Structures are given as C-alpha cells and as structure tokens.
Structure 1
C-alpha cells in the first residue's frame, strides 16, 4: 500500500516558515546532519506534492533546475505558474481526494511526499489521506508564521513510531495516523 507522508521541519512552536514566509531560521542549521536520513527517505518516494508557495520558493531558489527530477510532481494551484526545466511537473487544482487517486497510481510501490506547505498537508489530513508525519523539530522559536498543519478541526490520534536526536538539538519523530 502506498503511504502518504508529510516530511517537514518546524520550530518548537509549530511553524514551518517565519512571519515573512522565510526559511532563514531553518537554513542556519545547515543540512549535513540530516543528509543520510533525507537520502534514505527520498529514495522511497515516487510522487511529490506541494502548494504554489512551496513551488515558488523552489522556483526562486533555482529557476533552471528542478530538485526532484526522478519524481512525478504535483503543484496544487489556482494560478498559471512557469515550469522549472527537468521535471515531470503537473499543475492541478481540485479536491485532494480525487487527486490522491492519481498520486497513488503514479507513485506505484513508492511513497507520496507532501512537501508543503501546511495548507496542502492540512487538506490531505482533513480528507483522511495522511498516513504519517515525519517531523523534525528544530531548536528555535519563531513566535509567528505559517503553522505546520492548520487543520479545519481537531485531528485524530497519532501514534509515535520513532524518535531521533540530532547533534544540533533537533528532534526527529515519526507519527502514524491511528486508524
């Protein structure tokens, strides 16, 4: 069965971007200590899904090269956005329940990664389609910003599957939706 996972980093107070939608707070940690875990994760991913703000962040970061060339990518948007070369990028809008069927088919025996943002992850969770949250809590407090998972109501219970402490003080945790 194809898993739908939200793999995300957040501040201690639950934000994935600061009040200006910036990620400088996250970039200060670098990526070296997280590389092995990320590479193991991404090797099992068949489909990446993101919203337009996440896509635009990637576009601004490197408009010439798509960071997920080996993955079918869906961008949920109501706008026309330029395509980044080098990827199978599909712009879509509509009900995530219907789109999820396409994601599962495209993923094959691999996972679906909800890259972000929180609004996309919340739509997937609200529809009952989120299987796991792979959360890395970074040792910083933002005070305000984009919340990790702005659900329309209280979620069901998640079971803690595993934890990992990183040298920076970040904590990785895997939560599975209790069904």
Structure 2
C-alpha cells in the first residue's frame, strides 16, 4: 500500500524556510553519519514525488537539475496554478485538491511511497485529503522568528522514533488524523 510521507526539516520555532525562502539556516547545520531514517534508505522507497511551486522553484534555483533535467528521477507532480517554463521531463503540473490526483499519483508510485517534498501548505492539504501517513522532521537548533510554517492545520500524531543527526534532532511520526 502506498504511503504518503512528508520528509522535511524545520527550525526550532517551526519554519521550513525564512521570510526570504532561504534555507541557509539549515544548510549551515553540521550533520553526522547517524540518522533514524537515512536519506538514501528513505528515497529508495519513494516511487513518486509531489511538490508545491515555491519548493520546485527553489530546488531549480539551487542547482536542482542534472544536465538540465529535473534532479529527481521519480515521477513528480507539481501542484501549481501556472505551468513551469521550461517543462521538465518527468514533471506533471497539476492544480486543485490533491485527492483529485490521488489515482494518478499512486499509479506513478507503482506500489512505492509518495514523498511530499514541500511545502508545509501542500502537506497540510494532503493531510486534509487523507493523503499523509507519516511526518519525518529534522529540527535544527535555530529560531527564525518568521517564514514558511512547517505545516498548517491541526493534526494528532504518534511518535514512532526519535534520534539525532549531528546538530539536528530527528522525529518520525504517524499521522493519526485531524484534531477535533
């Protein structure tokens, strides 16, 4: 069964990016060899990716291409109101409620997991659509005061595992459902 997983990082005060959409605060953090969910093991289980436009544009701006192609090899569903220019092979632009695209996303995943690459608003929309099973978050020892929130909405979560990776605190949660 396809799992929907939000694998991300946040500042201690709950922001994915600062007010300028920068991740410098995260990229400057020392990491180690140990992790409760190493990236390589995680991405090997991913059959499809869904991302929002801000995250997509940030990845492209920060060398998110390999010889001009989208950096990820998995089929990617880009939630956007305006098609990307130029179009990238393997990237399908979609809009609207994630549930409307669930069948196509799961077909593309071919029995593997779906990675919600970003951002927090899209992860919250997926949660409301019943398309968020796990949240894996690395928490950096920095506060930003403002920026892009980790996730909107109210969810109940169950802690599955925790650990550290260099300066980062890691936590893996099962999504139990919406609060209330």
Verify same fold: TM over 0.5: yes
Contact 2:34 2:164 in 1 (8 A): no
Question: In structure 2, what is the equivalent of residue 77 of structure 1?
Answer: 80
TM-score (norm 2): 0.89
> 2:162 — aligned with what?
163
Shift of residue 33 of structure 1?
A: 4.1
The 2-side partners of 1:43 and 1:25 are apart by 27
Q: Which consecutive aligned stretches of 4+ in structure 1 deviate over 3 angstroms post-superposition? A: 30-36
CA–CA distance in structure 2, aligned partners of residues 34 and 59 of structure 1: 28
Is 1:93 the counterpart of 2:91 in the alignment? no
Alpha-carbon contact 2:30-2:166 (below 8 Å) kept? no
Residues 8-27 of structure 1: pairs in structure 2 closer than 5 A? 8-27=8-27
Q: Are 1:65 and 1:84, in contact at CA under 8 Å, matched by a contact in 2?
A: no
- Identify if the C-alpha distance between structure 1 residues 61 and 2 changes in structure 2 by more than 3 Å, giving closer, same or farther: same
Q: Whose helix proportion is higher, 1 or 2?
A: 1
Higher strand share: 2
- What is the Cα deviation at residue 165 of structure 1? 1.3
CA distance in 2, matches of 1:95, 1:66: 24
Unaligned 5+ segments in structure 1 are none
Residue 28 (str. 1) matches residue 31 (str. 2): no
Q: Say if 2:158 and 2:176, in contact at 8 Å, map to a contact too.
A: yes
Check conservation: 2:47, 2:112, Cα contact below 8 A.
yes
State the partner residue of 1:140.
Answer: 142
CA RMSD of aligned residues (A): 1.9
Count of aligned pairs between the two proteins: 173
* Whole-Å separation in 1 of the counterparts to 2:9 and 2:33: 13
Following the alignment from structure 2 to structure 1, what is the Cα–Cα distance between the partners of residues 12 and 123? Answer: 18
Unaligned runs of 5+ in 2: none
- Aligned-pair CA distance for 1:80: 2.1
